[in-house]
Amino acid sequence: MRETYQVQKEDFANAGKVSSHIKTTLKQLGVEPALLRRIAIAVYEAEINMVIHSDGGAITMEIDEGSIRFTFADQGPGIADIEAAMQPGYSTANEAAREFGFGAGMGLPNIQRNSDSFDIQSSPAGTILNLSYEVNP
Amino acid sequence: MRLSELIEKSGFTLKNNLYDKEVEGVFAGDLLSWVMGHSLPGQAWISIQVHLNVVAVALLREFSCLIIAQDAIIPSEMIDKANEEQLTILASHLPVFETAKKLVELGF
């Protein structure tokens, strides 16, 4: 199974919709609750990051017998300092985002903590974040 | 404690439909990622944030209810979304700290 969802830049009102949909889909597929919670947090944070920081992009979910994988690919402008962005509390969120309660600087740390495998690559052309989870058959 | 009992004892106002879940603790915070990263499922969440993303976080985190403190104005689309997703929203006249104190008095 493979599904792709589009995420728009600075669409704060709809931020979280893709994560909610993914959570509902995985719940229907019978993913166990503890794993579902971890996925929900990671996917939500990654979706929000895309809304706040990127020029928009796409989220792809792939499911097979042994794993659930996500790719978050945006159109830039990239993360200037990934090492800093991985530190809890570091944020470059703007005022508009902060008014919505975003910008805690916990996004990437929360994602890493709530994924089995975490890989992030970034350049001005875009950021690609890959997450995967093992699923017991 | 069930949510219905909490409402009766706290005096907080029910703002939408009651989905009577078990309240397993309380978390207070307004920075969404912080809340996501540190809270636990089943908790009641006290916040002054009032927009659709709060509902999204509450659902993803599986909170038992949302308590909006200090009469922050709750937009109608937030109420509608919460009903659609079966999330109960309560309102408290009290500031966050006093709202939390009230819940401590109830045994949380």
Q: Is residue B14 very low, low, confident or very high in pLDDT (cuts 50, 70, 90)?
A: very high
The CA distance from A48 to B7, in Å, is 32
Q: Is residue A15 very low, low, confident or very high in pLDDT (cuts 50, 70, 90)?
A: confident
How many pairs of residues across A and B have Cβ atoms under 8 Å apart?
72
Domain of residue B97 covers: 3-105
Question: pLDDT of B23-71, one tens digit each?
Answer: 999 999 999 999 998 999 999 999 999 998 999 999 999 999 999 999 9
Q: What CATH number is given to the structural domain containing A109?
A: 3.30.565.10
Residue of A nearest to B38 (CA): A110
Decide if A45 and B36 are in contact by the 8 Å CB cutoff. Answer: yes
Domains of chain A: total: 1
The CA distance from A69 to A46, in Å, is 13
* Cβ atoms of A111 and A105 closer than 8 Å: no
Work out the burial of residue B30: count CB atoms within 10 Å of its CB; fewer than 13 is exposed, 13-18 middle, 19 or more buried: middle
Question: pLDDT of A79-115, one tens digit each?
Answer: 999 999 999 999 999 998 998 899 999 999 999 999 9
Domains of chain B: total: 1
Give every CB contact of residue A52 below 8 A, 6+ residues apart in sequence. A10, A93, A94, A97, A102, A103
Q: Is the pLDDT of residue B81 over 90?
A: yes
Whole-number average pLDDT of chain A: 94
Residue of A nearest to B30 (CA): A101
pLDDT at A111: 97
Residue of B nearest to A43 (CA): B60
| Prediction ipTM score | 0.82
pLDDT at B102: 98
Decide if B49 and A100 are in contact by the 8 Å CB cutoff. Answer: yes
pLDDT at B54: 94
Domain of residue A59 covers: 2-134
| CA of residue B5 relative to chain centroid, distance | 14
The CA distance from A5 to B63, in Å, is 26
- Are β-strands B44-47 and A126-134 bridged in parallel, bridged antiparallel, or unpaired? unpaired
Which of B32, B41, B60 minimises the CB distance to A104?
B32
Q: Is the pLDDT of residue A137 over 90?
A: no
Q: What CATH number is given to the structural domain containing B92?
A: 3.40.1390.20
Mean pLDDT score, B77-91: 96
Decide if B32 and A100 are in contact by the 8 Å CB cutoff. Answer: yes
Tell me which chain B residues have a C-beta less than 8 angstroms from the C-beta of A14: 52
Tell me which chain B residues have a C-beta less than 8 angstroms from the C-beta of A15: 53, 56
Instruction: Determine the residue among A20, A26, A49, A51 to mutate to test chain B binding: the one whose Cβ has the most chain B Cβ atoms within 10 Å.
Output: A20
